[in-house]
Structures are given as structure tokens and as C-alpha cells.
Amino acid sequence: AQSVAQPEDQVNVAEGNPLTVKCTYSVSGNPYLFWYVQYPNRGLQFLLKYITGDNLVKGSYGFEAEFNKSQTSFHLKKPSALVSDSALYFCAVDTGRRALTFGSGTRLQVQP
């Protein structure tokens, strides 16, 4: 069965510093990986996805993610955090059934 793990419930970072939100996956086939962001009482917004090709994927709002097959990871990164980046971030995987399996989420707090 496919699964996604987000090992950190919360990540705290100072504004202007780089941020990383971690995600590891376990699938039997080729992984198709996604990152979404959720603001309070709202739906999820798509940030980026990895299907194939370049291991570094660039997405919305300056975010990027690095696919690492040997470590089965897909960590979300941003070079310089903003207070407005504070939100709940979800990693998700699809192995071709065209429905997503989500991680438990990581709350990002960016302090001014």
C-alpha cells in the first residue's frame, strides 16, 4: 500500500530564513508526488508536483521541492520564508489510481 509520512507536526522558522518541510513516501510503483497548502478553514491550494524528469520542481509562491529516489523523499523548500507562508502543508502521492494519499500535514509557523 502506498503511504506518505510527514515526520514533523510543526516547523518554526524566522522570516527571511530558508525553510524545509519534510516528506517521505512508500510506494510500489513510480511515485507521483504533490504538495498542497491549506490556510485556516479553507480548501487546499496546489503548490507543485513531481511526475518525472528534473528532480528539482519549482512551484507557486517561490516554493520548490526536491525528489530524491534513493531516500524516497520529496522535501518542500523555500529560500526565504515570509510570515504569510504560515499555514498547513500537505504532501501527497498518487501511484496511478488517480486519487491521492495524503500525509498528516505539517504546520509551518514563520515568525517576524
The span of 2-10, 20-28, 62-70, 75-83 binding other proteins (CB under 8 A) equals 2-10
Whole-Å CA distances, 54 to 9, 51, 76:
28, 9, 15
Contacting other proteins (CB under 8 A), which of 28, 43, 53, 112?
43
Interface with other proteins, residue 59, by CB under 8 A = no
**And the C-alpha cell for 67?**
525528489
The span of 18-26, 41-49, 60-68, 69-77 binding other proteins (CB under 8 A) equals 41-49
Measured distance between the N- and C-terminal CA atoms of the chain, rounded to whole angstroms: 41
Interface with other proteins, residue 51, by CB under 8 A = yes
> What gap in Å lies between CA 90 and CA 48, rounded to an integer?
11
